[in-house]
Structure 1
């Protein structure tokens, strides 16, 4: 079983969690993202090259098509909702790695994760500061958080795949 696929029990458990950014993903967001992940795996199993990065933005794009989703505030809220899902997925993968890595490997991962959080916050903080002259700053900041968090989750999923080989 590919570790990118979130088991149903875990998906239900993280559905009720709230991310640190106070945005919650909806059941529709989760369904959209889970469908994307499953589609990517089907394509990969068929031997075609495709990256999980194709799923970044899958739920937020749909959200932005809804009434109010195309405003600056709407775009920010849509990307933060999707970010909450990727953050929950990242935490699920992190806990799975904790259970599957040696003590030394996990200590190294924990240190890397702490450094990554510092980097993500600084990088996305810069986006916010750089665009400080307008409301677009919230869009760039939330997009940065989404991309960084989803990319890191995909990285952790890759480590989990290698660990289970």
Structure 2
């Protein structure tokens, strides 16, 4: 009889399970950017909505939501970077006075240095979170989200500077 009760309890609990939705709408982030004084205010807002939509609390939910928004910023960063490289190549090929490779090489070096900085920064934050165990994945994802957004904004600034030339 006991195994039957346990099975029924387990099956009954399964009926209360709710599918979790860790999707982030990039358009909602994009709509935030022009209406704030500091664009960093938009960073993490959709992740926080995701966390609340999924019942908050558990580190798994926090990490999944932070990671989902980080992916949006990473896509934007990669697209911006590719566009910058193409613009830099065009400027170097034009008769504008830039040495061949000077813009492209410095953009690549900047991005490589940023990746090292991001990884070291997030490793430090994870080291600080380690005594608390399960927080590590959510701390790591939040750090990646924040630092990726910062670099995206920096690449947007570089893009504006290149466009001015």
**Which TM-score tier does this pair reach, normalised by the shorter chain?**
0.7 to 0.9
Corresponding residue for residue 69 of structure 2: 82
1: CA distance, partners of 2:156 / 2:84: 9
Q: Measure how far apart 1:130 and its partner are.
A: 2.3
CA offsets, 1:84-111, max 9 Å, x none?
0000100011011111123311210101
Query: Is 1:73 matched with 2:60?
Result: yes
Q: Measure how far apart 1:38 and its partner are.
A: 4.2
1: CA distance, partners of 2:45 / 2:25: 8
- Partner SS state of residue 31, structure 1: helix
Q: In proportion to residue count, which structure has more helix?
A: 2
Matches within 5 A, 1:36-47: 36-40=32-36
Corresponding residue for residue 130 of structure 1: 128
2: CA distance, partners of 1:97 / 1:70: 39
The list of structure 1 runs, each at least 4 consecutive aligned residues, that deviate by more than 4 angstroms after superposition, is none
Aligned alpha-carbon RMSD (Å):
1.7
Q: What are structure 1's unaligned runs of at least 5 residues? A: 1-24, 41-49
CA offsets, 1:13-67, max 9 Å, x none?
xxxxxxxxxxxx73x4212212212434xxxxxxxxx122121112111111112
- State how many pairs are aligned: 131
TM-score, normalised by the number of residues in structure 1: 0.72
Q: 1:35 aligns with which of 31, 34, 39?
A: 31
Query: Is 1:109 matched with 2:96?
Result: no
2: CA distance, partners of 1:114 / 1:29: 28
TM-score, normalised by the number of residues in structure 2: 0.72
Q: Work out which of the two has the higher radius of gyration on C-alpha atoms and give 1 or 2.
A: 2
Q: Measure how far apart 1:149 and its partner are.
A: 0.6
